[in-house]
Amino acid sequence: MSHYTRSYADIRRALLAHEEVALVDVREEAPFAEAHPLFAANFPLSKLELEVLARIPRRDTAVTVYDNGEGLAERALERFQDLGYSDVKLLEGGLQGWRDAGGELFIDVNVPSKAFGELVEHHRHTPSLAAEEVKQLLDAKADVVVLDARRFDEYQTMSIPTGVSVPGAELVLRARELAPDPDTRIIVNCAGRTRSIIGTQSLVNAGLPNPISALRNGTIGWLLAGQTLDHGQSRRFPQVSDATREIARADARSVADKARVKRASRADLPVWQAETTRTTYLFDVRTPEEFEAGHVPGARATPGGQLVQETDHYASVRGARIVLLDDVGVRANMSASWLAQLGWEVFVVDDLRPEDFSEKGGWNAPIPPAPKVEEISAETLREWRQQGGVAVLDFTASAHYVKQHIPGAWWTLRADLANALQNNIPVAERYVLTCGSSKLARLAVSEVEALTGKPVFVLKDGTASWVAAGFELEHGESHLAFPRIDRYRRPYEGTDAPREAMQAYLDWEFGLVEQLGRDGTHGFYVS
């Protein structure tokens, strides 16, 4: 074995020893979702620089990169090295090498969290009701509240009738306010299974006196039962009283203690952040609105329910230390209770004061210094397009492109530029690159220059500036230079998923416990 590679056996040993492991799949999300190791984190080569500094913050982390023979991993290795990562190797034999060595492969995304949810239900027998039973209760105007544990934007797309948006980590803090009578039945739903299982079990673990059930199989189960969903709802949780907050605080603390969550103080943070041999993630698990109003400097906004659902996306170094922040403590302790059971070393900071939440505004991902490029305004681009001889390349997510783009712009994957320019995009005298904000577009300038030998410009502030100028837009898949593999379409997304896909997704989730057993590296436990 060369000193440029790590083997399946190396990775497996490190996982079992709880060492830090960053196993990075640099394909786009759709091929990643077709097959990958349990703890692989997806960093598409197309946007690697925009994500890696937040997701793998320590430059001497042991990083192992792979693809499925497309030639992306070697390019990613160089890019990691250019960014200053000092311990980057290729996975021996790539994805096929993992398979040949007997490694288990998983489909879909956020698999560790979804598999863990199934394990929780398996061990705790989390109570659930079928869609038909829930509909009967609602039709009979029974004493029931339906709490939707997903992100608010997902809830707005489609929801169970009467449902109220209470994203996962908020449930224990807010459920007593929404169901003050202990006889009121609480039903928790998500799109599929994971967040309703975790949400329901959170309320059970916290000792709420109400009868509590998950909506079995979530909105998928509801649709498969032939029932209709609401769209565009905006019912959100109310504020909580001091009395409710104190009860929830004590409940959440005892749940965290039972799960062996560790405690930290403010003074630990600078020490951990300065450590060079250990990765520390600092996550604020409150709502996005609370984060923007004021947060601890250096923290990343990761609402707790989503952090538990998509841990691999936020904490991409398995075996790292996770530190959770929350002014009340309920969201942090409940989220930490699950992360601890997911096999993470997780701390809650207990002594935060209001003045510690001193930084305002949203979270901005740390990105490498932007290369110097020549920018043009939307007005200039409009003139050039009227004159002809210009090609516009759009590097935004394909979903954004389909929604709206500059007329005639080609949707392009940065990782496969050579192919797109050679085979699909007509030769032009000059090229203008754009994306939503221009952050990604500017990273592609030197590549397009090298491939075309022509002048290349960036649209200042991206397509957003074209939209702001009120210029004409085009919609749909008009000029795709490449198939839309940048995003895996989840079977529970949107409102038109085929029944077979929804049923297959549920069958897959049911099979995850068995797959975890075969893989044998997960380190999960259920307290």
Domain chopping of the chain, boundaries: 5-108, 115-240, 258-356, 375-468
* Dist. CA 206–CA 253, nearest whole Å: 9
pLDDT tens track, the chain, 527 positions: 467 999 999 999 999 999 999 999 999 999 999 999 999 999 999 999 999 999 999 999 999 999 999 999 999 999 999 999 999 999 999 999 999 999 999 999 999 999 999 999 999 999 999 999 999 999 999 999 999 999 999 999 999 999 999 999 999 999 999 999 999 999 999 999 999 999 999 999 999 999 999 999 999 999 999 999 999 999 999 999 999 999 999 999 999 999 999 999 999 999 999 999 999 999 999 999 999 999 999 999 999 999 999 999 999 999 999 999 999 999 999 999 999 999 999 999 999 999 999 999 999 999 999 899 999 999 999 999 999 999 999 999 999 999 999 999 999 999 999 999 999 999 999 999 999 999 999 999 999 999 999 999 999 999 999 999 999 999 999 999 999 999 998 877 766 778 888 888 889 888 999 999 999 999 999 98
The hierarchical CATH code for the domain 258-356 is 3.40.250.10
* Dist. CA 89–CA 221, nearest whole Å: 43
Give the bridge partners for 283, in sequence order: 300, 324
Three-state secondary structure of 98-141: HHHCCCCCECCCCHHHHHHHHHHHHHHCCCEECHHHHHHHHHCC
Determine the pLDDT at residue 495: 66
* Dist. CA 463–CA 469, nearest whole Å: 10
Q: Does domain 375-468 bear CATH number 3.40.250.10?
A: yes
Determine the pLDDT at residue 1: 47
* Dist. CA 364–CA 367, nearest whole Å: 9
Q: Model pTM?
A: 0.95
Q: Establish whether domains 115-240 and 258-356 are of one fold.
A: yes
Quote the crossing angle between the two packed helices 111-124 and 330-341, to the nearest 10°: 90
Structure-block tokens of residue 150: 């997903």
Is 308 in contact with 116 (CB distance < 8 Å)? no
Q: Does domain 115-240 bear CATH number 3.40.50.300?
A: no
CB atoms within 10 A of CB 8: 18
For the purposes of burial, counting CB atoms within 10 Å of the CB of 389, is it exposed (0-12), middle (13-18) or buried (19 or more)?
Answer: exposed
Contacting residues for 420 by C-beta, under 8 A, at least 6 apart: 393, 410, 412, 413, 481, 482
The hierarchical CATH code for the domain 5-108 is 3.40.250.10
Chain-centre distance of CA 376, in angstroms? Answer: 33
Which residue stretches of 185-284 are H helix? 194-205, 218-224, 242-258, 268-274
Determine the pLDDT at residue 2: 60
Give the bridge partners for 433, in sequence order: 393, 458
